[in-house]
Structure 1
């Protein structure tokens, strides 16, 4: 009888240990007023007694000594992570790490990960970090860390193992789609200073903004860089590309600030949960819009959570044209609940809805123009073409000097576009769509974007 009891106990502990802690695809709210005292009145005494009996049996009969603290920690982790992929219990160190990540500075490799069938899947490498520089890609499966298999390792443990002292090296064994053999990727740990917003001019009149994740400073950083783009000579007055591809999400209020930079009125996002007092609608604040021109927003399957809030708001408001592939489809909000002992809960407390009242949970957002993944090869030469100027005896153009200047400018733009097409074909397609909007006329293009 004694042996028969040990098997289910061991299995139950295995389930608790095996459940991962999802670190990706998050929209974070914050709440510290956790009603702990009220919960005690509704807990069933018989079930609590059974919990104590099981805990005592495990402590006494498990194959190796295990402390009460560890058993309680595992029980709390299982309680939260068993609810959904995004709820979790965080000990003191994990809570500090999460706070550092959302504030925009932390130590490690600069890689967003989640648990996937016993291995660690890369959601996306963060721009300008060791992971991005080493060529890590969204969808990569990490199967070993410094030669140790991740199978049976919790996601929190895997993340802890990947972090370490800046300057030290780590080897990740990675399985990549369409690559026949596992890859060994060597990275050097750094203190990660997340620059969540980057900007540049694609060509005269057309600007580019890339948001890699939503940290607390993202909204202010975007406004600053957008204003700088608009001030440049031949700045972003004709059109703007906003790139949200492989952006796993982040802080909800940062997403609201980003949307408000492009719209002047109306709803941005709403959240609804069991606690009606926590339901809330975020609206655009009048006078905060700083860009009114045509926009294209690039999205893909790695665009999740806060990224989908931005994409959904701009699409519902008909403020931008969405280009790419269907987004990830995470439409839930996690509230961070600090506990008195320095630990915290990350608990799914609500769903969020786009301005039209639609939930994207499990469905994602469909782009206005879908770009299917394709392989593009450059074609050498332009082929045989004949123009009027090639014909014998053609009439001369009295404005040829002006035409030649325009032709030289067009050649420079063509070279820039060829470079973009070679490096990032989806961005090239987005730019072409944006130029089509802008070419209608500034007034009509803005009306089309709205």
Structure 2
């Protein structure tokens, strides 16, 4: 008798939910209500009842229904999820630029946590976490069997506390154990500096609500530092996991004068959107190189795809992540929300980003440059060291002049060495950026002809 009451209650509740959804979602489609799968609902109710009666421990109705909701969404794709009150608040804080944790963007892959990208100036980045790392253990607890939400909750904690991650990294023979000290993550999404006179560098680590306005400030400062204009700009989107769609549109619009930036397509009318550029290029047509890699996802791919399709920039690096779906955050009762995939992104030329990514115009892999040990110059023999060698006319005068200016010569050598040392750190520290700067110089020369 009790089971029948539960069945009737559940069926009534589910019917109410479906009718409500039918009214909201299909209101503009001639008020059609979807056909209810009564047989499947009967199966669901029967399983629900058996869990209530037979499970080894008592489970509340609220907990079971929340599990059911989470299961429905997680079965759709890796990005759809149910956000309870706590998770909804964390999402809102994250897009504003300050939150607690390690500083990594992650998703779930084959039961393990995959690092999409570490965020700049965070504990994870400083500890050496890399895009593509597979997290298999959190402290001594296996990740297998956890939901993504559970894994993220373990990784977050009190600032100053430690956590050990066991990482499987491509190319490493053994799993790596990395200790990270948690901290409050304050993300400054835009950073800039001058690479060389006339050539600017801007790094966007994440797309937040204020990223576009911060980008404008950075460009204006670079112009001011370079006598009012730039010969070229490197825009670095490597390991940028994405963020707010409006920020991606704003960043793209900064460098485009006209045309489509991105459009979305989905099943419902509200999911079909088009974003166009306004008639102003803040960089003034100066050449651009955009850096991307496998950690560049979502909003980063929108920017790279738009600038590539409009031939506004050269895209350099490696193929991007391929996250081209749109998630809508729909608040529901109890201060919770539904995060659900409602559309796909398309570049101006109609390319789908989803599972495809953006192929760079120029493929440049990350490499490590090591110094080559040169032999001692004192043991190298040249023509001038041979006894009785034929001297150049005027050599005697030159010798006297060289002896007189030996100190000046040493100074010149020191200055040349300092200049060489100035070039070497960039190629050692960031080979891809070094190549981008060289490319930018060539583009600048061509554009001035």
| TM-score bracket for this pair, using the shorter chain length | 0.7 to 0.9
Q: Which residue of 1 aligns with 2:68?
A: 75
Q: Which residue of 2 aligns with 1:349?
A: 342
Mapping for residues 176-191 of structure 1, pairs under 5 Å:
176-191=169-184
Q: Which residue of 1 aligns with 2:253?
A: 260
1:411 Cα shift? 6.7
What is the rounded CA distance, in whole Å, between the counterparts of 2:418 and 2:232 in structure 1? Answer: 19
Does residue 433 of structure 2 align to residue 427 of structure 1?
Answer: yes
Does residue 174 of structure 2 align to residue 168 of structure 1?
Answer: no
Does residue 131 of structure 2 align to residue 138 of structure 1?
Answer: yes
Aligned positions, number: 401
- 1:412–1:435 distance in 2 versus 1, CA, 3 Å: farther
Unaligned stretches of 5+ in structure 1?
1-32, 397-404, 445-450
1:146 Cα shift? 2.2
Question: Which residue among 367, 370, 374 is the counterpart of 1:377?
Answer: 370
Question: Which residue among 134, 156, 159 is the counterpart of 2:152?
Answer: 159
What is the rounded CA distance, in whole Å, between the counterparts of 2:328 and 2:53 in structure 1? Answer: 36
Does residue 435 of structure 2 align to residue 438 of structure 1?
Answer: no
What is the rounded CA distance, in whole Å, between the counterparts of 2:416 and 2:309 in structure 1? Answer: 35
Report if the CA contact (8 A) 1:203-1:413 is conserved.
Answer: no
Does residue 308 of structure 2 align to residue 315 of structure 1?
Answer: yes
Q: Deviations over 1:85-121 (max 9, x none)?
A: 2111111111111111111111111111111222212
What is the rounded CA distance, in whole Å, between the counterparts of 1:417 and 1:440 in structure 2? Answer: 23
Q: Deviations over 1:388-407 (max 9, x none)?
A: xx9765999xxxxxxxx999
- 1:287–1:374 distance in 2 versus 1, CA, 3 Å: closer
What is the rounded CA distance, in whole Å, between the counterparts of 1:412 and 1:275 in structure 2? Answer: 62
Does residue 214 of structure 2 align to residue 214 of structure 1?
Answer: no
- 1:353–1:140 distance in 2 versus 1, CA, 3 Å: same
Does residue 58 of structure 2 align to residue 52 of structure 1?
Answer: no
Q: Which residue of 2 aligns with 1:127?
A: 120
- 1:288–1:372 distance in 2 versus 1, CA, 3 Å: closer
- 1:373–1:107 distance in 2 versus 1, CA, 3 Å: closer
Q: Which residue of 2 aligns with 1:302?
A: 295
1:180 Cα shift? 3.1
Of 177-186 and 138-147, the range deviating more from structure 2: 177-186
What is the rounded CA distance, in whole Å, between the counterparts of 1:361 and 1:121 in structure 2? Answer: 18
- 1:426–1:358 distance in 2 versus 1, CA, 3 Å: same
1:379 Cα shift? 3.4
What is the rounded CA distance, in whole Å, between the counterparts of 1:416 and 1:257 in structure 2? Answer: 35
- 1:440–1:71 distance in 2 versus 1, CA, 3 Å: same
1:234 Cα shift? 5.8
Q: The residue matched to 2:428 in structure 1 has which SS? A: helix
1:291 Cα shift? 4.2
- 1:426–1:287 distance in 2 versus 1, CA, 3 Å: closer
1:148 Cα shift? 1.4
- Please report the TM-score for the alignment, with normalisation by the length of structure 2: 0.82
Q: The residue matched to 2:91 in structure 1 has which SS? A: helix
Of 247-256 and 409-418, the range deviating more from structure 2: 409-418
Does residue 190 of structure 2 align to residue 194 of structure 1?
Answer: no
What is the rounded CA distance, in whole Å, between the counterparts of 1:440 and 1:391 in structure 2? Answer: 42
Q: The residue matched to 2:329 in structure 1 has which SS? A: strand
What is the rounded CA distance, in whole Å, between the counterparts of 2:393 and 2:150 in structure 1? Answer: 77
What is the rounded CA distance, in whole Å, between the counterparts of 1:209 and 1:408 in structure 2? Answer: 31
Q: Which residue of 2 aligns with 1:232?
A: 225
Question: Which residue among 420, 423, 428 is the counterpart of 1:417?
Answer: 423
Q: Deviations over 1:370-400 (max 9, x none)?
A: 113444333355999x9xxx9765999xxxx
Report if the CA contact (8 A) 1:205-1:235 is conserved.
Answer: no
Question: Which residue among 206, 221, 238 is the counterpart of 1:245?
Answer: 238
1:178 Cα shift? 2.8
Q: The residue matched to 2:64 in structure 1 has which SS? A: helix
Q: Which residue of 2 aligns with 1:203?
A: 196
What is the rounded CA distance, in whole Å, between the counterparts of 2:57 and 2:233 in structure 1? Answer: 61
Q: Which residue of 2 aligns with 1:340?
A: 333
Report if the CA contact (8 A) 1:105-1:192 is conserved.
Answer: yes
- 1:128–1:291 distance in 2 versus 1, CA, 3 Å: farther
1:278 Cα shift? 3.3
> CA RMSD for the aligned pairs?
3.0
